[in-house]
Amino acid sequence: MTFDLFDSLPPEPDDDPTETLAPGAVLLRRFARDDDQALLAAVGDVTASAPWRHLITPGGLRMSVAMTNCGSYGWVSDRAGYRYDPIDPDSGLPWPSLPAPFLSLAARAAAAGGYDGFVPDACLINRYLPGTRLSLHQDRDEQDMRAPIVSVSLGLPATFLFGGLRRADRPARVRLAHGDVVVWGGPSRLVFHGIAPLADGDHPLLGHERINLTFRKAR
Ligand code: MD3
Ligand code: FE
């Protein structure tokens, strides 16, 4: 007998904006649409203080995703490893604080996904251009795995790769479009996941870019 995250899910209509992808993983389609301009203005404020950068993996490879952070902690990677750091290593200053529209959206989305009282202390912001990819990984640098991660997709659509609890589990493919929010908690908190190489396109607000926000409780 093998345990399969995708077993025993009831079928749901495709136009339902709320879809359970797996136990603990809830897709809220277009949930952030009405907030897109406020969210993107706040991303601009954050990147004015903490500019986009390409982190180096512990193995010495430059990530194709450009990243920055806001909140009390930022996720960083370098030759020494992965960690949450209260200081932006590029500036030597604390990361910009979480903008009000970020906190509001994260709390509303988490509640809609079944997590009341979610207060993130970190937001990793990822920027994709055509061809950018994010290889299969787990998010396991956070202290409290009972807290969910809330992700917000903006701009060009992406193919999200949604695997299982083992790296070798073959990932399902889920399209994430502008304004889509996913709440990842419970049994889905430690699944392997990634983003397939971004296809080119032209988004009315973001042109050739995709931006992803992930709200986390790091400590
Ligand atoms: C499932 N970001 O920042 S968002 C990441 O689109 C990350 O930039 C991707 O993976 C992106 O770590 C995917 C969806 C996502 C984010 C975090 C998760 C799915 C997750 C954590 C646990 C399980
Ligand atoms: Fe991740």
How confident is the model at residue 3, as a pLDDT? 45
How confident is the model at residue 16, as a pLDDT? 78
Residue nearest to atom 21 of ligand 1 (CA): 139
> Token pair of 82, please?
């992965």
Quick one: average pLDDT of 39-52? 99
> Token pair of 42, please?
């706040």
204 Cα to the center of ligand 1, angstroms: 24
The gap between the terminal CA atoms of the chain, to the nearest Å, is 36
Residues 6+ apart with CB under 8 A from 99: 42, 45, 46, 70
* Residues 37, 39, 45, 50, CA torsion sign: negative
How confident is the model at residue 10, as a pLDDT? 58
What are the backbone angles phi and psi of residue 37, rounded to the nearest 5°?
-65, -40
Computed over every residue of the chain, the mean pLDDT equals 95
How confident is the model at residue 46, as a pLDDT? 99
158 Cα to the center of ligand 1, angstroms: 12
> Token pair of 184, please?
């990842």
How confident is the model at residue 2, as a pLDDT? 44
Quick one: average pLDDT of 141-162? 98
| 189 within ligand 1 shell (Cβ under 6 A) | yes
* pLDDT confidence tier of residue 1, bands split at 50, 70 and 90: very low
Is 216 known as a binding-site position? yes
Quick one: average pLDDT of 159-185? 97
DSSP-assigned states of every residue in 88-153: -TTTSSBPPPPPHHHHHHHHHHHHHTT-TT---SEEEEEEE-TT--EEEE-----S-TTS-EEEEE
Quick one: average pLDDT of 44-69? 98
In the chain, the percentage of residues whose pLDDT exceeds 90 is 93
> Which tens digit of pLDDT belongs to each residue from 92-114?
999 999 999 999 999 999 999 99
How confident is the model at residue 195, as a pLDDT? 98
Quick one: average pLDDT of 198-205? 98
Quick one: average pLDDT of 5-10? 55
| 212 within ligand 1 shell (Cβ under 6 A) | yes
Ligand 1 mutation target, pool 135, 149, 156, 166, most atoms within 8 A of CB: 149
Ligand 1 mutation target, pool 214, 215, 216, 217, most atoms within 8 A of CB: 214
How confident is the model at residue 206, as a pLDDT? 98
Structural domains of the chain ordered from first start: 18-216 (2.60.120.590)
Quick one: average pLDDT of 53-60? 98
- Which residues place a Cβ less than 5 A from the ion ligand 2? 139
Distance separating alpha carbons of residues 164 and 172, to the nearest angstrom: 9
> Token pair of 8, please?
């025993």
